[in-house]
Amino acid sequence: MTKAIPSVQKYMTVLPHTIGVDQTLAQAEKMMAKYRVRHLPVLNGGQLVGVLTDRDIRLVETFKDVEPDKVKVDEAYSPDPYVTSPNASLADVCAEMAQRKYGCVLIADNNKLVGIFTWVDALKAMSDLMETRLKH
């Protein structure tokens, strides 16, 4: 008997920490360190506009005369992130992440951010599925 492939909702991180476009890179770094995350969905007036990663911050900080406590998130984030529904197939989301080398997927329901699914979540899902479905 074959079991249905679960949705991404089962393994996503619910209500992820977010940051506003008007915050500084220094504030973003502090949030990432405090919450031990590498991805922050970026909001502008409550609307999802992109994602800021630790790699984005490190890249911008390599430029000459960049002061992390003065440079705003809107100068470093990646616009147009991969966004999908909580009901999206886990297999489809993971395949897209692998093909496009995405570190995370933002999960929205009715244009409202409800979660984030990172490659760490994908590994947890794989471990769970192997334990529950492949173990003899």
Cα 76 to Cα 4, 64, 128, distances in angstroms: 39, 14, 35
Task: Grade residue 4 by pLDDT with cuts at 50, 70 and 90.
Answer: confident
**Mean pLDDT confidence for 127-134:** 86
SS3 72: strand
Residue 77 and residue 52 in contact, taking contact as beta carbons nearer than 8 Å: yes
pLDDT for 135 beyond 80: no
Q: For residue 10, what are the contacts with CB-CB under 8 A and spacing of at least 6?
A: 90, 125
Superfamily of domain 8-134 in the CATH hierarchy: CBS-domain (3.10.580.10)
pTM (2 decimals)?
0.90
- What's the mean pLDDT when you consider all of the chain? 93
pLDDT for 2 beyond 70: no
Domain ranges of the chain: 8-134
Q: What is the pLDDT of residues 26-84, one digit of tens each?
A: 999 999 999 999 999 999 999 999 999 999 999 999 998 889 999 999 999 999 899 99
How many helical (H) and strand (E) elements, i.e. helices and strands, does the chain have?
Answer: 4, 8
- Above pLDDT 90, what percent of the chain? 85
